């Protein structure tokens, strides 16, 4: 594939590819735009957000506990897991969030991502930084270059 056709040829393309795949519910495609550390961090964030929401409803708590038990998540997802397992866990957590949003629990992570814009990209060697803005809240996103491709890091 020619670099100009590569969806990870620039940090901007990697950010757009990740966002587009996530919004389409294509978790495996989205995760290929992220480093292993970023994948685990994403799963961890959804774990924490889900656990917070599950405290308010017994059925939600039981359903989430089933996911935590199935994947041994009591200590978090950070232990050594391969990308395929992280994608499976992420899918289960996103399904849980989708199921319980209707009763006011869970977070609409995809709506947040849909409202996210990346700007002010700055490349510094094998790292790049951008401003990520979601609903007026700004944070820094980091990207890493590996094997000629950019990844969310």
| Tens-digit pLDDT profile for residues 11-35 | 999 999 999 999 999 999 999 999 9
Measured CA angle at 19 (ends 3, 135), to 5 deg: 135
Annotated domain spans of the chain: 12-152
Q: What's the confidence (pLDDT) of residue 4?
A: 45
pTM metric for this prediction: 0.85
Whether residue 128 is predicted with pLDDT greater than 90 in this model: the reply is yes
Tokens of 23: 């919004």
How many alpha carbons lie under 13 Å from residue 39 in its C-beta half-sphere? 24
Which residues 6+ apart lie within 8 Å of 114 measured at CB?
23
Q: Measuring CA to CA, which residue among 142, 153, 152 is closest to residue 17?
A: 152
**Which alpha helices (DSSP H) does 1-140 contain, by range?**
11-23, 27-31, 36-54, 58-70, 83-101, 109-114
Q: Calculate mean pLDDT across residues 114-138.
A: 95
Assign residue 23 a region (left: φ > 0; alpha: ψ between -120 and 50; beta: otherwise): alpha
Q: How far apart are CA 93 and CA 90, in angstroms?
A: 5
> Under a CB-based contact definition with an 8 Å cutoff, are residues 91 and 43 in contact?
no
């Amino acid at each position: 594939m020619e670099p100009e056709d590569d969806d990870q040829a620039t940090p901007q393309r990697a950010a757009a590819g990740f966002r587009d795949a996530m919004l389409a519910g294509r978790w495996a495609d989205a995760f290929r735009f992220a480093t292993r550390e970023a994948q685990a961090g994403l799963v961890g964030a959804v774990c924490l957000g889900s656990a917070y929401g599950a405290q308010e409803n017994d059925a939600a708590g039981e359903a989430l506990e089933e996911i935590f038990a199935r994947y041994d998540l009591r200590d978090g997802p950070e232990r050594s897991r391969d990308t395929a397992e992280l994608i499976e866990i992420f899918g289960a957590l996103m399904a849980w969030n989708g199921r319980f949003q209707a009763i006011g629990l869970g977070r609409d992570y995809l709506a947040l991502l849909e409202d996210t814009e990346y700007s002010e990209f700055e490349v510094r060697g094998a790292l790049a930084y951008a401003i990520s803005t979601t609903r007026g809240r700004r944070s820094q996103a980091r990207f890493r270059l590996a094997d000629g491709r950019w990844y969310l890091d």
